[in-house]
Amino acid sequence: MNAPNDSAIAGLIDAARQARENAYAPYSGFRVGAALLTADGRIFTGVNVENASYGLTSCAESGAVSSAVGAGVRDFVAIAVTGPDNGVPCTPCGSCRQILHEFAPNLLVITEAASGAVTTPLRELLPQAFGSGNIQRVEGR
């Protein structure tokens, strides 16, 4: 699939905003929704799920990846991430950048700024990334 056009981007942001309704963020109040667009045009969503332990919190982006991979889909084109409607782009945290890179080094990351949607290649957010290509697989392990 080609890079999403403006209407596909708007649809993906909308899906992330809808997902955000189900975010579980009673501790931070910082509700996040993510919508992952797959190469075959499907959309998988995720939300942040906080935990009383704080440290066990999981991010919206990793939830969307788990949902897609669990459905047997690993070919991703773009992800939209929506945090609070404060005009500040909610870019994926470092850990989520690495999780996204595992499956889609060429992913486009779409966030919302006060001026509208911002599209940034994951390669810019995670330069010189460590990935599967760095690992020498050994037969039998």
The first and second tokens of residue 64, run together, are 């969307």
Under the criterion CB under 6 A, does residue 28 sit at the interface with ligand THU? yes
Determine which residue in the list 37, 79, 80, 90 makes contact with ligand THU, applying CB under 6 A. 90
Is-catalytic flag, 50? no
Contact call for residue 107 and ligand THU (CB under 6 A): no
Residues 6+ apart with CB under 8 A from 33: 15, 16, 17, 18, 19, 20, 21, 22, 23, 45, 46, 47, 60, 81, 82
DSSP 35: E
The catalytic residue among 61, 102, 112, 139 is: 61
Q: Which of 66, 72, 128, 134 is nearest to 100 (CA)?
A: 66
Residue 88 binds ligand THU (CB under 6 A) = no
Nearest to 102 by CA among 122, 118, 119, 84: 122
- Specify the residue, 25 or 108, whose C-beta has the smaller distance to ligand THU: 25
30 binds ligand THU (CB under 6 A): yes
Q: Which residues would be at the binding site for ligand THU (CB under 6 A)?
A: 25, 28, 30, 32, 48, 50, 57, 59-61, 81, 90, 92-93, 96
Positions marked active-site: 61
